[in-house]
Every structure is written in structure tokens, then in C-alpha cells.
Amino acid sequence: MERREDLNPDLYWHGVTAKRRPDQPALPHERGRGAGGSSSVNGLVAVRPEAADVDAWEQDYGARGWGFTEFLPALSRMETDLDYGDMPYHGNSGPIPVIREPEEYWGDVDRALHDSAREAGLPWFDDYNAPGSTGVARYPGNSNRDGLRISTNHGYLDPARERDNLCIMGDAHVVAVESAGDRATGVRLLGGTVVRPAADGEVIVSAGAVHTPAVLLRSGIGTGSELRRLGIGQVAELPVGVGLQDHAIVFIDFTPHEGRYLTQDLRPTNVAVHYSSGMPDTGPNDMCILGTNHNYWFGNADSGLAVQLNESHSRGSLDCRRPTRSSIRCSSSDCSRTRRIFRGWSTVSSARSTSCPGRHSAGSWWANPAPPGGGGRVRTGQGRRARLFHCAHGRRG
């Protein structure tokens, strides 16, 4: 599958690339831009972290006060869970609505994944985000009942726009943090303007996992060796741009049986299977499989399954030379878990496909703000495993 190259530059950064190994070609690495950042373009999956992972922040990495017990109230505060808001571990008055699609709005792939996983003996646990949940679940998403994306822009910024003490500047690209000694005194924008905080204020850089280290390195905050390589004078010695981490995900194309089809009207993924690989040094639910009724990052027409590592061990680094590159070296544990999945899928996937005029309606579940683009092709063909595609088509439209 080819990555799309036509992503709206008002909503996506272009020119950021990533590779897993030095010998691989650099591929586009999507990052959202503008108000809401990546939450304006992301996959709308609203899943909580594994409790054991959060506890490790405190126990293994020294983040005192960030264990799961302390963290849970913050998770609840940010959500209005429209299915389970009355449960003690959920919220019902936060700015971000969380929904799970009822079965009538699932696509063929969702149903097939559900049925196959249940047949394989995995338990049904409807609330993916409940403590202790594992197995097959409806996949929670951050949208309202009408299917509209609720990003951090909608949930947090919009209600605060009228505040007297808030100034939002558009088209303001931060080049670097200005500092005096070891104190940050403001930020310098492209064009030279310097924005300074109030006398007792702070400078908080929150440009995301890729651009924050880039801003810091340009400000002279980083390791001596990296800053020397970039020719930037050092202001502070800190391990910036190392330890980069992301969850690897593999999209696998499937070809439904003749007569079955996948529709863009549906949310792309409504069912997920999270489970534990049991491999050494992995925690609970380190793996996840999702159905993809359609996949707009690849042009919308492809359907299939996606397999992701919920727990990544690989670490990478940011390379600030132009074009900006980031790379994550795949750890042996991550590689072997991914390979194991590939071996499994080779028994269920079919390579054959033909294209035919698609059945698409004008509307799309991805109602705002990033339209999915006009892919007009739906694949049909013969899958090897009948039970993966045995249900009626989606009914929303």
C-alpha cells in the first residue's frame, strides 16, 4: 500500500520522515498541525493506557505521583463516556465524548474479526477501557453521537477562546526558545518576533513528540555531541531527541468475497482484539488487532486488518538535519512479535484482488475536519477464509 501524498498541508506537516532501520527508505511520518495538532487528524481511537505500563512510569522511571491510581482520575476528568460514564472508573462530564459504535454500525470486517476471535476462544469484554479488560471489545472513539470528531481544539480550546488572559496566534512558527542563563525568557518566531511571558510566567513547549525536541535542539538544549554536530551553541545539557518511541502498526490488505463491500460511511474500525503475547519481558495486552473497514491514510479504498504493538520496546532518535528525519530501531522483541503475526496472517490473507466501481455515498463518517479524499474504488475478490467475510454490508448512510 502506498502512503497518501496529498494530505492537506494546513492540517499535516509535510517533510517529516521516519525509518525503522538505516537501510530502509525514509517514509512520510504524519504529524498534525494547526489548532488541535495531531488530534485534528488522528485515528479517533480513545483507548486508555495499560495500568501496568503507567505503574512502570512511577516504579521504573521515577515519575512519582504518576502511578495508575493517581492517573485514573485525570483519565476520567477528560472524558464523557457515553456508554459507561456512570462507572466509578469513567467520567461523565469531561470535554471529550467517548463512544463505541453499536453492532448495527459495524462493517463486514468488524463482524468477521469479532467472530473469528471469539471462535479462537478470546473473551468478549465490551469496555476496552475498563481496568482488567482483555480480549474482544468495541473500539472506543472520541466523537459525538453524530460521528463528529471532538479534538483537543473542540474540547479544550474552543470553550476557552473568549478568555481575556488567552492569546492564540495563527501562523506563528516557533524557531527557538530564548533564554538568559538557565532561564527561558520567551520564544522566537520565524520572522524574528520574540514573544515573552508575563513577568511571573513560564515558557511551556508542547509542540508534540517530534517537533518539541526539534525546537529544543534549535534552542541549544540537548546533548553536547548532537549540538556540536548541528553547529548550535549549547545552553543546557539534556538528553533531547533520544528515546523516541511509537507503536508500530502493520496494515494488511484483505479482499472480501464477491458481493461483500466496505463502506466509508462507517467508522473505519469498531472492533479490536487486545491480548497478551506472553513473550519474555512483555506485559498484559501488549498486542492489538483491529479491523479496518477502510483506510483513509492509504486512499480510503483498502480494507483489511491492522496489527499493532501496544507495548513497544524499540527506541529511536530524531535527526534534525533537513529533511527532518526520525528513526526508531526495532528491538528484537518487537521484531519477533511482528514476525509471529506475519506468519499467522499468511494463512488467512489472499493476495488476489480486482477493482470495480465503488459503492460510495457522498457522506463520510470522517465528517470533520480532515476530509478523507475521494477514493472511488472498492475491492472485491475471493478471500481464502470464508468466515472472515460472511456478513451483510454496513447499513449506515
Ligand X SMILES: Cc1cc2nc3c(=O)[nH]c(=O)nc-3n(C[C@H](O)[C@H](O)[C@H](O)COP(=O)(O)OP(=O)(O)OC[C@H]3O[C@@H](n4cnc5c(N)ncnc54)[C@H](O)[C@@H]3O)c2cc1C
**Interacting residue with ligand X among 7, 11, 16, 44 (CB under 6 A):** 44
Q: Which is closer to ligand X, CB of 38 or CB of 255?
A: 38
CB atoms within 10 A of CB 343: 8
**Interacting residue with ligand X among 33, 90, 100, 360 (CB under 6 A):** 33
- Residue 93 found at the interface with ligand X (CB under 6 A): no
Measured at the alpha carbon of residue 257, what is the angle toward residues 354 and 120, in degrees to the nearest 5?
130
Residue 214, all three cell numbers: 526539534
Using a 10 angstrom Cβ sphere, with 0-12 exposed, 13-18 middle and 19 or more buried, the burial of residue 28 is: middle
Among positions 321-380, residues that touch ligand X (CB under 6 A) are none
Stretch that binds ligand X, among 28-36, 88-96, 278-286, 341-349 (CB under 6 A): 28-36
Total residues in contact with ligand X, by rule CB under 6 A? 20
Stretch that binds ligand X, among 39-47, 113-121, 285-293, 374-382 (CB under 6 A): 39-47
Stretch that binds ligand X, among 43-51, 83-91, 100-108, 304-312 (CB under 6 A): 43-51
CB atoms within 10 A of CB 292: 25
- Going by C-alpha positions, the residue among 65, 122, 48, 54 that lies closest to residue 283 is 54
Q: Which is closer to ligand X, CB of 177 or CB of 252?
A: 177
Q: Which residues does 191 contact at the CB level (< 8 Å), separation at least 6?
A: none
Question: Strand 27-28 relative to strand 79-81: parallel, antiparallel, unpaired?
Answer: unpaired
Stretch that binds ligand X, among 41-49, 83-91, 260-268, 365-373 (CB under 6 A): 41-49
Query: Can you tell me the distance from the alpha carbon of 308 to that of 311, in angstroms, rounded to the nearest whole number?
Result: 9
Q: How far is the CB of 30 from ligand X (least distance, A)?
A: 4
- Residue 186 found at the interface with ligand X (CB under 6 A): no
- Is 100 in contact with 139 (CB distance < 8 Å)? yes
Q: How far is the CB of 98 from ligand X (least distance, A)?
A: 11
Residue 151, all three cell numbers: 479534538
- Residue 45 found at the interface with ligand X (CB under 6 A): yes
- Residue 218 found at the interface with ligand X (CB under 6 A): no
- Region class of 256: left (phi > 0), else alpha (psi between -120 and 50), else beta: beta
- Residue 204 found at the interface with ligand X (CB under 6 A): no
Q: Which is closer to ligand X, CB of 37 or CB of 256?
A: 37
Nearest to ligand X by Cβ — which residue?
37
**Interacting residue with ligand X among 4, 7, 32, 314 (CB under 6 A):** 32
Q: Which is closer to ligand X, CB of 308 or CB of 317?
A: 308
Q: How far is the CB of 177 from ligand X (least distance, A)?
A: 10
| DSSP tally for the chain: helices H, then strands E | 7, 20
- Which residue's C-alpha cell is 513560564? 202
Give Dmax over CA atoms of the chain in angstroms.
Answer: 68
Query: Can you tell me the distance from the alpha carbon of 54 to that of 223, in angstroms, rounded to the nearest whole number?
Result: 27
Using a 10 angstrom Cβ sphere, with 0-12 exposed, 13-18 middle and 19 or more buried, the burial of residue 73 is: exposed
Q: Which is closer to ligand X, CB of 136 or CB of 176?
A: 176
Q: Which is closer to ligand X, CB of 33 or CB of 90?
A: 33
- Residue 98 found at the interface with ligand X (CB under 6 A): no
Map residues 153-182 to x or -, x wherever contact with ligand X holds by CB under 6 A. --------------------xx--------
Using a 10 angstrom Cβ sphere, with 0-12 exposed, 13-18 middle and 19 or more buried, the burial of residue 161 is: exposed
- Going by C-alpha positions, the residue among 259, 292, 272 that lies closest to residue 393 is 259
- Residue 42 found at the interface with ligand X (CB under 6 A): yes
Beta bridge partners of 236: 221
- Residue 235 found at the interface with ligand X (CB under 6 A): no
Stretch that binds ligand X, among 25-33, 103-111, 331-339, 382-390 (CB under 6 A): 25-33
Residues that bind ligand X (CB under 6 A): 30-34, 37-39, 41-45, 173-174, 206-208, 211, 215
